[in-house]
Amino acid sequence: MVLKDVRAKVEQTWTTTKKLLAMMSVWGLIFSLVTIARLGAAFTYDDTLVHADAAYDKAAGRVQLQRSPEYWKIVNNAYDLESPKILPYGLACVLRAFGFRILILAERGGTGGDALKKEWRRLAPRGFVYVSDPEDLHLHLQDGRYVLFFGNGDRELLEAKKAGVYSVRVKLGKKAVSTGEYNPGQMGELVLPLSEF
């Protein structure tokens, strides 16, 4: 009786170990293929990776002239008020774990933005870029081997299409700061469910 219990425990442990090793092998294969191919995924920052409305509200309350260097300095240093969007941020972490290079594109002025870059260095070690001109978004996507782009506005998705990158739309939250056109599903893109939270 005791011998049977020990034997069953050993068999169960061995089965679990084999499953774990198989999963690690699959992860290792995917990681090595993605890393060797140097594939990447890009995310826009405001309203895609984070809820940035509190940072923009803080800057609007302190500076008269919006979109001035002082305005961007306040916005870029108020990252402690921003909260990550659960699903897009989780996907970025999973893609990073599978070897994808992550590029974060912040469509804002870069004045005083070194602290914000440093805050995101674990997810995107060398891939946090300020894009002051929205029409230049596709230029940053053409530089690398990006296979996925996560954004929220129509213009952003068109820029990704220009660069030949498959785009996924992230839904806007209730207090979104994005001001561009927003028509989910109109361009035949995949719309990420529950991504507004």
Stated pTM of the model: 0.89
> Would you state the pLDDT for residue 67?
87
Distance of CA 158 to the CA centre of its chain: 18
Distance of CA 13 to the CA centre of its chain: 37
Strand pairing category for 101-106 and 39-44: parallel
Residue 144 has pLDDT above 80, yes or no: no
- In percent, the amount of the chain with pLDDT more than 90 equals 79
Mean of the pLDDT values across residues 87-107? 96
> Would you state the pLDDT for residue 76?
95
Q: How confident is residue 141, by pLDDT bands cut at 50, 70 and 90?
A: very high
Residue 143 has pLDDT above 80, yes or no: no
Residue 1 has pLDDT above 80, yes or no: no
> Would you state the pLDDT for residue 4?
84
Mean of the pLDDT values across residues 146-159? 94
Mean of the pLDDT values across residues 63-91? 94
Mean of the pLDDT values across residues 15-21? 93
Mean of the pLDDT values across residues 114-128? 94
Q: How confident is residue 136, by pLDDT bands cut at 50, 70 and 90?
A: confident
Mean of the pLDDT values across residues 137-154? 91
> Would you state the pLDDT for residue 38?
94
**Torsion on CA atoms 181, 72, 123, 131, rounded to nearest 10:** 50
> Would you state the pLDDT for residue 117?
94
Question: Could you give the CA distance from residue 101 to residue 68 in angstroms, rounded to a whole number?
Answer: 31
Outline where DSSP puts E strands in 9-159.
39-44, 50-51, 83-84, 101-106, 128-130, 145-151
Average pLDDT over the chain, rounded to whole? Answer: 92
